[in-house]
Chain A
Amino acid sequence: MTLTPQTVRALKALVFVAALIPLGRLATGVFFFPEWLGANPAEFITRSTGDWTLRFLLITLAVTPLRKLFGWHSLATFRRMLGLYAFFYGVVHLSSYVAFDHVFDVVEILKDIVKRPFITVGFTALVLMTPLAITSTNRMVQRLGAKRWLALHRLIYVIGPLGVLHFWWMVKRDITEPAIYAAILAVLLGYRVRAHLKDRRRRAKPARGAIAQPRPNA
């Protein structure tokens, strides 16, 4: 499936706007409809932006498997935007924790990061996302060279599990939701491990033609 450049551009605009809907909903809640956010609006905002960070991370990680399995090669064009949205929601998530939970008390925040494992991993995940966001431009790809750029961006294989772990350790008792995220992540990463192993086996075995017996009449 390959799309015309016009269609891709239109779809990109659509995805760009659609990805802002969760933020738009929160902002509308804050300014016009407080009942949307319930009794604890700050918690609602922190949870919701955290959820969307993880969702965008998983969607970004789903691009390559979907492209390869179904031949939807145009999906690759959306990957950067999706990844940047994961980072964007992560930043909003962190900001709401910094502002609402700690009212910008830097000392308390640092203590939290050091003392509480679920904060440590969540914070680490967001820190690791930062260089990926910075090097997301075409110019940066050129400057780094494709090989180094790719190596750097493999950090997402660490960021994804850290993000899910952050959610898992945050939950008090009912782990259903983080378990769902973990399962999806396992499938997406498992696909890559399998593809990698297959690839290695293929390379280890010299191409079939090379060791073929000479044909009788050659």
Chain B
Amino acid sequence: MLIKRPSDILPSEITPPEIYARRREFLQLAAAGSILGATGLLAPGAGAQTVKTLGLQRLENVAKSALSTNEKPTDYKHITSYNNYYEFGTEKEEPARYAKALKVRPWSVVVEGEVAKPRTFGIEELLKFPLEERIYRLRCVEAWSMVIPWIGFEFNRIAKLVEPTSKAKFVEFVTAYQPETMIGAKLPVLDWPYLEGLRIDEAMHPLTIMGVGLYGEVLPNQNGAPIRLVVPWKYGFKSGKSIVRIRFVEKQPKIAWERANPQEYGFYSNVNPDVDHPRWTQKKERRIPDFFANRQTVIFNGYGDQVAGLYAGMDLKKLY
């Protein structure tokens, strides 16, 4: 009898061949790193690294997670200076400049809809959820990618507290709309407030987290403070920022980018190298801050082992 037991090491975590081929470089780098480390210029450990941050409030008691990738996290300065947060401007460097105005306190998240126990959570309550560091790959629909050490908790923890009913088939995420602080939201670039949505099983998946921190600290405003969605196997725009309302609903929500341009953006928006964006290929990606877009994009952003089952039998070329 064959007993099927999941292997201890996920195929996605096995060293990719192109990295393996460059192992000598890595050894040299590691050697250089240990010299630097010995001189105190570089501390080991990804999330615990002494990086130059904005010096925001530090988050304590953050557990490590087996779901983290061991790829090298992108520099804090790049993660916080190259953002798509259209409420603060459509240029990548604008959110870092203008999102300071965002009012992040007081903040609460209303959870409602098809649930037995609707509830409003204050941000202080949410920050008391058991926090984990999740180092995830992020792949933007614009063909660039980063590795981000998020801090957060699984979305399903919220769901357990509000008890979704059998009618809850989808979850809609409503982001903040503060016309007085959001200079980019003055233009009707997208329908404000920005809406995102997931199928309930996608939302409940252990990889789906509510992010509250980055590199050991609370989120900078440009990255979606004080609380945001993170869905690592979908294009970045699916991970809505600055969430104020979560609705469990029966019908599939019409998400912001789908409203804006249904030919180019679908509800699912799973990372998929075989479905091109009409204006550019999705086969490859550029890891920030590299010059060359020479990384093969992997289906489900490399999280296929964990999430492919959610889409069994679905034609991903039609339901993109």
- A and B: interacting chains: yes
How many residues on A have C-beta within 8 angstroms of the other chain's C-beta atoms?
A: 24
Does A24 belong to the interface (CB within 8 Å)?
A: no
Taking CB atoms, residues of chain A closer than 8 Å to B187 are 174, 176
Pairwise interchain contact A42-B286, C-beta atoms closer than 8 A: yes
A41, A103, A173: the one contacting B294 at CB < 8 Å is A103
Does B82 belong to the interface (CB within 8 Å)?
A: yes
A38 and B189 in contact (CB under 8 A), knowing A112-B281, A116-B279, A169-B279? no
Residue of B nearest to A105 (CB): B284
Pairwise interchain contact A40-B279, C-beta atoms closer than 8 A: no
Pairwise interchain contact B279-A118, C-beta atoms closer than 8 A: yes
A38 and B82 in contact (CB under 8 A), knowing A99-B292, A103-B294, A173-B189? yes
A40 and B92 in contact (CB under 8 A), knowing A100-B292, A173-B260? yes
With both chains docked as a complex, state the minimum distance between the C-beta of A35 and any C-beta of chain B, in angstroms.
8
Residue of A nearest to B90 (CB): A174
Contact-residue size bin, chain B (C-beta under 8 Å from the other chain):
20 to 34
Pairwise interchain contact B190-A34, C-beta atoms closer than 8 A: no
Taking CB atoms, residues of chain B closer than 8 Å to A173 are 86, 90, 189-190, 260-261
Cα A103 to Cα B291 with chains together (Å): 10
Cα A118 to Cα B279 with chains together (Å): 7
Residue of A nearest to B293 (CB): A101
Cα A111 to Cα B284 with chains together (Å): 14
Pairwise interchain contact B292-A42, C-beta atoms closer than 8 A: yes
Taking CB atoms, residues of chain A closer than 8 Å to B291 are 41-42, 99-100
Pairwise interchain contact B278-A116, C-beta atoms closer than 8 A: yes
Taking CB atoms, residues of chain B closer than 8 Å to A108 are 281, 283
With both chains docked as a complex, state the minimum distance between the C-beta of A212 and any C-beta of chain B, in angstroms.
60
Pairwise interchain contact B144-A40, C-beta atoms closer than 8 A: yes
Does A17 belong to the interface (CB within 8 Å)?
A: no
Taking CB atoms, residues of chain B closer than 8 Å to A39 are 77-78, 81-82, 92, 288-289
Does A12 belong to the interface (CB within 8 Å)?
A: no
Cα A42 to Cα B294 with chains together (Å): 12
Residue of A nearest to B260 (CB): A173
Q: Which of B30-73 contact A (CB under 8 A)?
A: none
Taking CB atoms, residues of chain A closer than 8 Å to B288 are 39-40
With both chains docked as a complex, state the minimum distance between the C-beta of B140 and any C-beta of chain A, in angstroms.
10
Cα A112 to Cα B291 with chains together (Å): 19
Does B93 belong to the interface (CB within 8 Å)?
A: yes
Taking CB atoms, residues of chain B closer than 8 Å to A172 are 90, 142
Cα A19 to Cα B21 with chains together (Å): 43
Cα A68 to Cα B276 with chains together (Å): 49
With both chains docked as a complex, state the minimum distance between the C-beta of A9 and any C-beta of chain B, in angstroms.
39
Residue of B nearest to A104 (CB): B292
With both chains docked as a complex, state the minimum distance between the C-beta of B53 and any C-beta of chain A, in angstroms.
16
Which of B78, B82, B292 counts the most chain A CB atoms within 10 A? B292
Q: Which of B183-215 contact A (CB under 8 A)?
A: 187, 189-190
Taking CB atoms, residues of chain B closer than 8 Å to A116 are 278-280
B301-312 to A contact mask, C-beta < 8 Å, 1/0: 000000000000
Taking CB atoms, residues of chain A closer than 8 Å to B261 are 173
Cα A108 to Cα B90 with chains together (Å): 28
Cα A100 to Cα B293 with chains together (Å): 6
Pairwise interchain contact B189-A174, C-beta atoms closer than 8 A: yes
B132-159 to A contact mask, C-beta < 8 Å, 1/0: 0000000000111000000000000000
With both chains docked as a complex, state the minimum distance between the C-beta of B166 and any C-beta of chain A, in angstroms.
38
Taking CB atoms, residues of chain B closer than 8 Å to A115 are 276
10 more contacts with CB within 8 A, not counting A116-B279, A118-B279, are A39-B82, A40-B286, A40-B288, A42-B286, A42-B291, A43-B286, A99-B291, A100-B291, A103-B293, A173-B90
Q: Which of B's residues lie within 8 Å of A, judged by CB?
A: 77-78, 81-82, 86, 90, 92-93, 142-144, 187, 189-190, 260-261, 276, 278-281, 283, 286, 288-294
17 A-B Cβ contacts within 8 A? A38-B93, A40-B92, A41-B291, A42-B291, A42-B293, A43-B286, A99-B291, A99-B292, A101-B143, A101-B286, A116-B278, A118-B279, A173-B86, A173-B90, A173-B190, A174-B90, A174-B189
Q: Which 5 A-B pairs have the closest CB atoms?
A: A39-B82, A39-B78, A174-B90, A42-B291, A39-B288
